[in-house]
Structure 1
C-alpha cells in the first residue's frame, strides 16, 4: 500500500438501543453500620406469554413511599435502623396493598418475597434467609441497566489483505447515577430512616464508588 496512514475503524453496537439490554444481576451485600438490610424481590412465576398480567409493585416503609418499585424477576435492597416496630408494604398497580409488621436488628439481613397470583392478586411474605438467598440470585437489580458495547471491526490500511480483527466484547455495568443514589439516601435521612452520620457515610461511599 502507498499510504503510510493507518486507519482505525471501530463499529460500536449498543445492545440496549435495540431493546436487548439486560439488568444487573443480583449481588449480595452487607448491611450498613448500625443498620439492618432488607431485601425485597418479586419471583418470576408466570410464563412469558402471561407478561400482560405482570404488575408493578410500589414499596413503602411505615406508610412512607421510598421510591422503590419492582416487577417480576427484580429485587431491591433497603437499609433500615434497628426497630421493634417496622411495617413494610407492597402495593400492586395502586389497587392491592399487603402489609408485613416485623422488627429489625442491626447487622442482620431479612428477605421478603412477592409472588404474583392469577387474577391480579399477589402474595407478600417474609421468607427464611436460606430460601430467600437461593431465590433472589435469579433476579436482577430494579432500576438498573446492563449495557453491552461490542467493538467489532478494526482495519489497518497498511496491510494488503484487510482482514477484520475481532476484539473481545466490553461489558459495562450502568446503574442509577450517583446523584440519584445520593437523592435517595437524602430522602431516607429526611424520613428518619438514616441518621445524619449514616447519610454522610453513605454519600461518601457513593461518591467514591467506581
Structure 2
C-alpha cells in the first residue's frame, strides 16, 4: 500500500510539473514610500505526497493578502513603513507570526520551512544575503498556465508623475475570449515594462493587482 501511495504521489507531481511553468523570480527595487517584503517557501525535502498538498496563506495584521503559497513559490508585498505583524497559516490550521518594524525603502525576506519534526513548519526572517540566494529557485505564486482566470485586455495609465502612477485592468465584452492565467498576465505586464510602456511603479502596482485577484 505504501508503495502504491508513493507511486501515485510521483505521478501527481509529474503531472503538475508538466501542466505549465511559473514565472521565475525577478528581483525588484523597493518603493520609496514602502517596505518591500518577499515571502517564499523553499522546496520540501520530505514526503513528496504531503508536500504537494501543503499551502500557506499570508496575513498582514490579521488581513489575508495575495495568493496561497506552495513549495517553490514566492510573493512580494509593498507594505507601509510601520510596525506590522505578518503571519503564515498552514492549510488554514496552524499559524506562525513575526513582528517587524518595517522601514521605507528597505527589503525584507521571510522564509517558510516545512516538513520539520512531526509536521511542524517554521516562519522566519532571514538575512538579505541568504534570502536573495534562496528565493532565486522559486517562482511567482499562482495558477499554472492552464488554470482559468481573467483576460488582460487593456492597460490605462494616469497621472504621469513620479509620485503617483495608476494602472487599471479592464475586461472587454469580446465574444468567446480565450482565458488567460495570472502567469500570462504577469508575463504581458513584464514585457510592457521591458519595452518601456510601464514604469517600475506601474508594473509593481499592476503585479499586485493581478496576484491579489
* Both proteins in one fold, TM over 0.5: yes
1:24/1:144 contact within 8 Å kept: no
Structure with the higher fraction of residues in helix conformation? 2
Deviations 1:170-189 (A, max 9, x none): xxxxx98659xx9xxxxxxx
Q: Secondary structure at the match of 2:24?
A: coil
Q: Post-superposition shift, 1:69?
A: 1.3
The unaligned stretches of length 5 or more in structure 2 are 1-14, 169-201, 208-213
Residues 1:203 and 2:167 are matched in the alignment: yes
CA RMSD of aligned residues (A): 3.4
Q: What is the CA distance between 1:66 and its match in structure 2?
A: 1.1
State the alpha-carbon separation in 1 of the partners of residues 151 and 36 from structure 2: 21
Q: Which of residues 89, 97, 102 in structure 1 aligns to 2:87?
A: 89
TM-score normalized with structure 1 length: 0.61
Query: What is the CA-CA distance between 1:68 and the residue it aligns to?
Result: 2.9
| 1:15-164 equivalences in 2 (<5 Å) | 19-47=18-46, 50-54=48-52, 55-83=54-82, 85-116=83-114, 117-143=116-142, 145=144
Structure index of larger Rg: 1
TM-score using structure 2 length: 0.60
Secondary structure of the corresponding residue to residue 28 of structure 1: coil
- Work out whether residues 44 and 51 of structure 2, in 8 Å CA contact, stay in contact via their aligned partners in 1: no
Q: Distance in 2 between matches of 1:32 and 1:128?
A: 20
Question: Does the aligned pair in 2 maintain the 1:24–1:146 contact within 8 Å?
Answer: no
Gaps of 5+ in 1: 1-15, 148-174, 183-196
Higher relative contact order (CA 8 A, sep 6+): 1
Aligned to 1:158: none
Aligned residues of 1:61 and 1:86 also touching (Cα < 8 A): yes
Superposition deviation, residue 113 in structure 1? 0.3
User: Quick check: 49-58 or 117-126, which moved more?
Assistant: 49-58
Matched pairs, number? 149
Q: Offset at 1:81? A: 1.0
